[in-house]
Amino acid sequence: MEAEVLTRQAGFFISSLTAISLAILSIEFILDYKLSFFPFSFIIVLYLAGLYLRNRFWRKAWKKDRKALFRYSYAIVWILGLALLFTFLYFGNSQIVVYPLGHYALNFYLLVIAFIWTVYSALELYMVDGISSLAKYKNANYLAIASILLVDLSVLLMNHFVYILPISLLLLSVSTFVSGIRVEKIY
Q: What are phi and psi of 73, to 5 degrees?
A: -70, -35
- For residue range 114-154, list pLDDT tens digits in order: 899 899 888 888 888 777 765 667 688 888 899 999 999 98
pLDDT at 187 over 60: no
HEC letters along the chain: CHHHHHHHHHHHHHHHHHHHHHHHHHHHHHHHCCCCHHHHHHHHHHHHHHHHHHHHHHHHHHHHHCCHHHHHHHHHHHHHHHHHHHHHHHHHHCCCCCCCHHHHCCCHHHHHHHHHHHHHHHHHHHHHHHHCCCCCCCCHHHHHHHHHHHHHHHHHHCCCCCCHHHHHHHHHHHHHHHHHHHHHHCC
Residue predicted with more confidence, 130 or 180:
180
Ranges 38-42, 47-51, 140-144, 155-159, most confident:
47-51
Judge whether 32 and 45 are in contact, CB under 8 Å: no
- For residue range 44-103, list pLDDT tens digits in order: 999 999 999 888 888 887 777 666 676 777 788 889 999 999 998 888 888 777 778 788
pLDDT for res 186: 64
| pTM summary value | 0.85
Name the CA dihedral angle for 114, 119, 125, 129, rounded to a multiple of 10 degrees: 160
pLDDT for res 28: 84
Residue whose C-alpha is closest to residue 114's, from 92, 144, 87, 95:
87
pLDDT for res 14: 92
pLDDT for res 170: 94
pLDDT for res 171: 93
